[in-house]
Amino acid sequence: MNNCKSLAPSIDNNSYILILGSMPGVKSLEEQQYYAHPQNRFWKVMGVICNEPNLYELDYDLKLKVLLKNNIALWDILKTCKRDGSLDSDIQNETPNDIRKLLRKYPNIKTICLNGNKAYSSFKKYFPDLLEKFNCNKMPSTSPANARYSLNKLIDEWKIILV
């Protein structure tokens, strides 16, 4: 089992939407970049949401700036875990990030989007009270492992964050 440690949040004082994943996959941890796996559809979905169709082609720092310009922050539910590979189903010995502290520091966050089943179940496990305090949305995973969702179907589901 490999020890995994989450990335730092990408957030600023203007952020009012927080997208939380579970734990970055192997490629993302190697690159130290959110959603770095080329088959992950996150950046293509966000490109449509942010009206930047070529977002997925930009340098990583520019991708984050586009999200922040659109008031979207990124982080993960889990701070550490043990896992071989990238599948959420293989996560063991998890510890959560201090989501409450982040939300206190950034009080403009009103909406929380949970990217996939593991993000949602972990959020519900560690932060059940926050489900009531925030507009929380369980979103379909943008991971390539979520083959049931086409890119267009993902985009349609994720458009809820525009409201």
pLDDT tens figures, 86-140: 766 666 788 999 999 999 999 999 999 999 999 999 999 999 999 999 999 999 9
Ranges 62-66, 100-104, 131-135, 145-149: which has the least confidence: 145-149
Q: To the nearest whole number, what is the mean pLDDT of the chain?
A: 92
- Gap between the Cα atoms of 47 and 85, Å rounded: 27
Question: Binning pLDDT at 50, 70 and 90, where does residue 11 land?
Answer: very high
Residues forming the active site: 40
pLDDT, residue 12, reads 98
Instruction: Identify the CA nearest to 26 among candidates 145, 119, 116.
Output: 145
**Quick check: 28 pLDDT over 70?**
yes
**Structure letter (DSSP) for residue 115:** E
Cβ–Cβ contacts within 10 Å for residue 84, how many? 12
Higher pLDDT: 148 or 42? It is 42
pLDDT of amino acid 1: 67
Residue 146 has pLDDT above 90, yes or no: no
Residue 92: predicted pLDDT: 76
Q: Residue 144: what pLDDT? A: 80
Catalogue all structural domains in the chain, each as residue range(s) with its CATH number: 2-162 (3.40.470.10)
Q: What angle do CA 36, 109, 38 make, to 5 degrees?
A: 10
pLDDT at 89: 66
Q: 31-45 b/e with 16+ CB inside 10 Å = b?
A: eebbbbbeebbbbbb
Question: Looking at residues 29-34, what average pLDDT do you find?
Answer: 91
Of 78-92, 97-111, 146-160, the least confident: 78-92
At 163 the pLDDT is: 63
Beta sheet of 17-21, edge-to-edge order = 72-76, 17-21, 111-115, 135-139
Amino acid at 65: K
**Please, are residues 23 and 92 in contact by the beta-carbon 8 Å criterion?**
no
Cβ density class 123-141: b for 16+ within 10 Å, e for less: beebbeeeeeeeebbbbbb
Q: What is the pLDDT of residue 69?
A: 97
Contact indicator for 122, 22 with CB cutoff of 8 Å: yes
